[in-house]
Amino acid sequence: MSFDLTFPLVVLAAYGLCNLLLSAAVVLAWRIGLQRRLTGADAVLWMRLLPALGSASLVLTVVLPAFLLYEPPHAHDHPGPLLLVSALFALLVLGDGARRGFKASQATRALLRSAQPLHTQVAAGGAEVTVINVTEPLVAVIGSWRQRVVAARCVAAACDPEEFRQVLAHEAAHLRARDNLKLLLLLTMPDALAWLPTGAALTERWRAATELEADEHASGSDRRKRTALASALIKVARLSLASGLPRQAARTAAPLNGLEQRIRRLLAPSPAMRRGFPGLRVLTGALLLPLLAMPLYASVHRLIEALVAFGR
């Protein structure tokens, strides 16, 4: 097989193998106690993104330059079954990630088509909220790049003005944090973790953490605001139970198993929450990776040759 055909197979196979190994490492870490230590939303986010982003980083900064530097351009190799299976696995996870992203996009479009906008008003923080006519008690940020807040008329009617302001302040906190874009990343990551219970658990842990952090950003230490938001959560939960049609996209109408924790948190003294993760250190490590790997390029190329020839 010519260099032009071997090259994409090697890149795909390396991504597939790294992805599988990193996904297994995350699952193992989660089972031996990582779930008890990950509390912040950003920390959970980075852990969930690790298999896909780590695999891409290793392929682009280690595997790719090692192959281009040491592989003769006129070499003809006969790929073994492991290379082909690994490349096929990479194509499978990439295609499935694209499918999930398309499905999420279609769900948002379907919601917008079914909703009848009634009026628009300014929410807390200057964000605009569109009140829509839907049967579900929906209050959510929709969209990933062009985000906006929507609220069902039944929620606006059930809450008093202060409660509704706090609901909108909560959604505005999600909007400022770009949580919908992060959720899209979580849903579309091309990795094996997406097919495992650990991947779903990490996503749900992230969603729960963002809800708690948005509550804190919306109400702060103001006792009146915290009480109003807790009251609104109870009213929206009752509307959800009455409608019998809870919608996953509705952040305020969150799964009821996390509702009690949010209300208890709001009615307790405000904790000192820090929304942050050492992203700068992660980025610095990613930039240093090619420099640290340069002395290993020859060894990496020998591993690539072993991968190509394995089982042949």
pLDDT of residue 250: 39
Mean pLDDT of 188-211: 92
pLDDT of residue 255: 46
241 pLDDT higher than 90: no
List of residues 6+ apart from 312 with CB closer than 8 A: 78, 79, 80, 81
Residue corresponding to tokens 């070499």: 75
Alpha carbon 66 to chain centroid distance?
Answer: 31
Higher pLDDT, 111 or 279: 111
Name beta bridge partners: 140: 150
311 pLDDT higher than 80: no
15 pLDDT higher than 90: yes
Distance separating alpha carbons of residues 89 and 277, to the nearest angstrom? 31
pLDDT of residue 117: 65
pLDDT of residue 309: 82
Over residues 82-109, the pLDDT tens digits come to 999 999 999 999 999 999 989 888 887 7
Distance separating alpha carbons of residues 261 and 255, to the nearest angstrom? 11
Mean pLDDT of 158-167: 91
69 pLDDT higher than 90: no
220 pLDDT higher than 90: no
Query: Which of 11-20, 165-174, 210-219, 289-298 shows the lowest per-residue confidence on average (mean pLDDT)?
Result: 289-298
Mean pLDDT of 143-157: 83
| Percentage of the chain modeled with pLDDT above 70 | 81
Q: Which among 30, 191, 181, 14 has a CA at the least distance from the CA of 96?
A: 191
249 pLDDT higher than 50: no
Higher pLDDT, 44 or 143: 44
Q: Binning pLDDT at 50, 70 and 90, where does residue 271 land?
A: low
Calculate the average pLDDT of the chain. 82
Taken as a whole, the chain contains a residue count of 312
244 pLDDT higher than 80: no
pLDDT of residue 59: 92
pLDDT of residue 71: 79
Distance separating alpha carbons of residues 176 and 275, to the nearest angstrom? 12
282 pLDDT higher than 70: no
Alpha carbon 201 to chain centroid distance?
Answer: 12
- Give one DSSP letter per residue of the chain, joined into a string: --HHHHHHHHHHHHHHHHHHHHHHHHHHHIIIIIHHH--SHHHHHHHHHHHHHHHHHHIIIIIHHHHHHHS-TT------HHHHHHHHHHHHHHHHHHHHHHHHHHHHHHHHHH-EEEEEEE-GGG-EEEEEE-SS--EEEE-SSS-EEEEEHHHHHHS-HHHHHHHHHHHHHHHHTTHHHHHHHHHH--SGGGGSHHHHHHHHHHHHHHHHHHHHHHHTT-HHHHHHHHHHHHHHHHHHHHHT---TT-SSS--GGGHHHHHHHHHSPPP-------HHHHHHHHHHHHHHHGGGHHHHHHHHHHHHHTT-
pLDDT of residue 148: 82
- Torsion angles phi and psi, residue 220, rounded to 5: 60, -140
252 pLDDT higher than 50: no
pLDDT of residue 121: 62
Distance separating alpha carbons of residues 211 and 167, to the nearest angstrom? 12
pLDDT of residue 254: 44
